[in-house]
Amino acid sequence: MEDSTLLNENVKWQAVTKCSSEFDGLFFYAVKTTGIFCRPSCKSREPRRENVEFFDSLHEAVSSGFRPCKRCRPDLMGYDPDEEMAQKIKSIIDANYPDKESIGREFNNLGISRNHMSGLFRKKYGMTPAKYTGKVRAAKSAELLEASDKSIMEIAFQCGFQSLSSFYELFRREKGMTPQEYRKEKE
């Protein structure tokens, strides 16, 4: 991409109206009426052109009296709120995979819709949170089948499965064999 000093204001304005992430770090824009400055990719409401001022650096924007946007966090160049949220979702599943109700409560505390959550997670990890939960449960149950003498039923319920049939179905899909076959193979 071009150096920010070579970008004219029309190009910068086009980047702002298109929320173009390819210009992030090359310049910042501030909205005079709010006193806030943003990255070009910020998803905030499009400001009126006459209220916008452009800056080539973070320092220039702050020195001019503007404060960083809380949505796009231009003061944190590595900040990606979608990725951060996807990681939070993954952490919730990893910590609570055996308990569907705990996962649901924790998801509700995130303050976003299930559809939005699923979209963010899929974008980051290539699968839905439900599919990932199934993979975690299958992996944990495989560990227990190898390392413990617990019955298959105990392992299924310990890993959060509601029935043996759902356990067998998911385990076969993930591992390519039944839990008994897996245990025998690993002996």
How many C-beta neighbours within 10 Å does residue 157 have?
A: 16
Active-site choice (38, 42, 69, 72) = 38
Q: Are 67 and 51 in contact (CB under 8 A)?
A: no
What angle separates helix 114-125 from helix 129-147, to the nearest 10 degrees?
A: 60
Terminus-to-terminus CA distance in the chain, angstroms? Answer: 57
72 given a catalytic annotation: no
DSSP 27: B
Q: How far apart are CA 148 and CA 15, in angstroms?
A: 58
Residues 6+ apart with CB under 8 A from 108: none
Residues annotated catalytic, as ranges: 38
